[in-house]
Structure 1
Amino acid sequence: MHAGVAPGQDTEVDEALAAWIVDRVRAGEPPEAVLAPLVEDGWSEDAAIDAVERVTRRFLEQHALDQGLPVPVRVPAPIVGNGSAVLDAGDRRVHVLASLLHPRVIVFGGLLSDDECDALVEVAGKRLSRSATFNLDSGVDEVHEGRTSQGMFFERGADALCRRIEARIATLLDWPVDHGEGLQVLRYGPGAQYRPHHDYFDPQRPGTKALLARGGQRVASLVMYLNTPACGGATTFPDARFEVAPVKGNAVFFSYDRPHPMTGTLHGGAPVVSGEKWVATKWLRERRYV
């Protein structure tokens, strides 16, 4: 194959190689299949990865601009296609139970221990109030009929338990601890739900500017299940016709590389039919969250 530059050079690739990379990516080839010919040509693996990432990024940015869409940003990418089913999260081994490419959704098994789940429920249960949503027009938190849970927020690093879980998440998702908001714990009683919504902040709304100043856009969400409801309470992704059962200790991760419905990350908490559901949510930002 025509490599465009001397193997391993940290420089721009030529148009022919760039076109070849874009063709492979658009065809849906996995990263390893795109990198392999470069490495076989004598490129170092790091140089090949850098070249593919730079070319792909330029293509995606130009495509977004041509289509009048938001430019994509880097998001957490904890697994590769057809990779290991068991991941090292530092102090715990976590299983990959399911993976969707679009929307980018990953279901993790055993992210939290039973004791950790119980401890979060015990501490949070003493501080619950009716959940609110941030009104991007008024700039204040408001109770909304579409969200019928009770909840509370922990400050990032609030106690030893939070710090341990946050460090585990950072290792699992390869995303810095300080690029995340504090944990939010929610309780859904019988009939409670959270109707389908997006987690990113709409850049067209007047209240968004202040939120973005604290760490940029949200780029991913991690919902951890602190108990297993008797019935109901699934996390739903209507665009993908996919739902995740709430199982104690498990979690669902989803990322969104731009604040646009094209990410397919419309999601909701289906009504609890019987019993109650407890979850802890971690939102990740582009930059350091302050």
Structure 2
Amino acid sequence: MTIAAISTSPDEAHAARLFKDAQARTRDGDVASARTLLQQAAQAAHLPALLQLGVWDLLGMAGPVDLLAAVERVRDAAQRGYLPAMTLYAQLVAAGAGGLARDFGQVLSLLSQAARGGEPRAAVQLAMLMPDVPEHSQTRRALLQRAAAGGESIARMFIERMPPIRPHFPLDWDVVLRGVAWPHERVLPAVAVRNEHPRIVAWPGLLSPDECIYMALKGLPLLRPARITGVDGRPAVDPIRSNEAAMFGLLEADAVVQSLDLRVAAALGHPVENGEGFALLRYQVGQQYLPHCDWIDPERTTTRADLDRWGQRVATCVVYLNDGFEGGATGFPELGLEFRGGVGDALAWDNVRPDGQIDPLTLHAGRPPTQGMKYLLSKWMRDRSQSGNAG
């Protein structure tokens, strides 16, 4: 994460030079020296350096992951008025990171303040949080234009899909605040039971079309060849799985994503803190995930440490983010069941039986699209809290 520095006084100029040198050391791979320079710049009240250190604490760069230190640094920079820090602190509050209370009133206040100051990531989130209805269209586009002017590529992509704005349309921040509707506060759609044992259920329109597009666009730059847990217990690329995946860690999961996380957890009936981060999955023509189970084998010694630390994957949810493809169903070969959702439709199943034992009948496959590309959002729920799992 790179943050530009602006300085005026001699002390600020010195801190800015330290920050610039730290960036150069980072590019050269000398992150230990870079961290020392960042610390010196932060001690000189250079807010971009303070925020950078907070991000590094989240990532575990040049040191261990330190969530509490990250929260403290980001909060400090936000309280000093640094707009990018306000946006990041908003998502940490939305996530309840480091023991923070999930206060979405505070989140909205932070995003609004940052967006008013011109912070593009805050503006695009506010636009996404306003329902896509005619009375909000002009305000949403005005917010997106602000975000696009600040370099936010997701905003530009949404603008291309929207009708033009009235010339000199005034952005009324009171209208913005009144128009925000958090996804996790919407009423859940009626559930449809597809199978009783194991329990497999579906929700039509669990996510809105704009939410689906937003999640896909956020994950696209992060896509990499998908991996499975190899025989040695480590992630590995394997022929059984040829699709691509992008993982949403705490740093990627903004306030919109956190609200969607709460919505999915509510649908599944599991505590949100028991969920792993979202994963965006992309299947191009012919790509697939052959039949497999999502539970962690308790008899497998190479995954015992993961199971002991984070618990069993007791439930899975997938949301179809698009419908511009042929084929691409989610299939359960042991049950003779196939599911192909429309935009925003979700499918979920229990990976374990009521007694907690793994269920082999949950064997399932991600079928390959025969035309077009398939995008899914995947979510795993464990049987214990994932607090502290920031990656």
TM-score, with length taken from structure 2: 0.49
1:119 to 199, 214, 229: 214
1:196 maps onto 2:318 in alignment: no
Displacement after TM superposition at 1:204 (Å): 1.4
Displacement after TM superposition at 1:276 (Å): 0.7
Q: Could you list the runs of 5+ residues in structure 1 that have no partner in the other structure?
A: 1-87
Going from structure 1 to structure 2, the CA distance change for 1:249 and 1:287 (only over 3 Å counts) comes to: same
CA distance in 1, matches of 2:323, 2:357: 31
CA distance in 1, matches of 2:269, 2:250: 17
CA RMSD in angstroms, aligned pairs only? 1.8
CA distance in 1, matches of 2:196, 2:250: 30
Residues 145-177 of structure 1: per-residue CA shift (max 9 Å, x gap): 011111110025821121011111222222111
1:146 to 231, 235, 240: 240
Write the mapping of 1:91-106 to structure 2, written as runs, cut at 5 A: 91-106=186-201
CA distance in 2, matches of 1:271, 1:246: 14
Match of 1:279 in 2: 376
CA distance in 2, matches of 1:253, 1:144: 25
2:362 to 259, 265, 274: 265
Displacement after TM superposition at 1:261 (Å): 4.1
Computing the radius of gyration from Cα coordinates, the structure with the larger value is 2
Displacement after TM superposition at 1:89 (Å): 6.2
Could you tell me whether the CA contact under 8 Å between 2:249 and 2:277 is conserved in 1?
A: yes
Could you tell me whether the CA contact under 8 Å between 1:90 and 1:171 is conserved in 2?
A: no
1:247 maps onto 2:339 in alignment: no
Letter in 2 for 1:138: D
What SS is found at the alignment partner of 1:213?
A: helix
Give the count of matched residue pairs: 201
Letter in 1 for 2:372: G
Match of 2:332 in 1: 237
CA distance in 2, matches of 1:219, 1:132: 20
Match of 1:82 in 2: none
What SS is found at the alignment partner of 2:232?
A: coil
Letter in 1 for 2:222: R
1:163 to 244, 253, 258: 258
CA distance in 1, matches of 2:306, 2:221: 28
What SS is found at the alignment partner of 2:277?
A: coil
What SS is found at the alignment partner of 1:214?
A: helix
What SS is found at the alignment partner of 1:126?
A: helix
If asked which structure has higher relative contact order (CA below 8 Å, sep 6+), I would say: 1
Letter in 2 for 1:216: G
Could you tell me whether the CA contact under 8 Å between 1:149 and 1:194 is conserved in 2?
A: yes
Could you tell me whether the CA contact under 8 Å between 1:130 and 1:151 is conserved in 2?
A: yes
Could you tell me whether the CA contact under 8 Å between 1:156 and 1:163 is conserved in 2?
A: no
Displacement after TM superposition at 1:275 (Å): 0.5
2:323 to 196, 207, 228: 228
Could you tell me whether the CA contact under 8 Å between 1:89 and 1:172 is conserved in 2?
A: no
Could you tell me whether the CA contact under 8 Å between 2:276 and 2:380 is conserved in 1?
A: yes
Displacement after TM superposition at 1:259 (Å): 4.9
What SS is found at the alignment partner of 1:252?
A: strand
Q: Could you list the runs of 5+ residues in structure 2 that have no partner in the other structure?
A: 1-182
Identity of aligned residues (%): 36
Write the mapping of 1:61-100 to structure 2, written as runs, cut at 5 A: 90-100=185-195
Letter in 1 for 2:363: L
1:211 maps onto 2:306 in alignment: yes
Going from structure 1 to structure 2, the CA distance change for 1:92 and 1:115 (only over 3 Å counts) comes to: farther
CA distance in 2, matches of 1:210, 1:143: 21
What SS is found at the alignment partner of 2:379?
A: strand
Match of 2:70 in 1: none
Going from structure 1 to structure 2, the CA distance change for 1:174 and 1:156 (only over 3 Å counts) comes to: farther
What SS is found at the alignment partner of 2:189?
A: strand
TM-score, with length taken from structure 1: 0.66
Match of 1:133 in 2: 228
Could you tell me whether the CA contact under 8 Å between 2:330 and 2:367 is conserved in 1?
A: yes
CA distance in 2, matches of 1:180, 1:227: 23
What SS is found at the alignment partner of 2:334?
A: helix
CA distance in 2, matches of 1:176, 1:103: 21
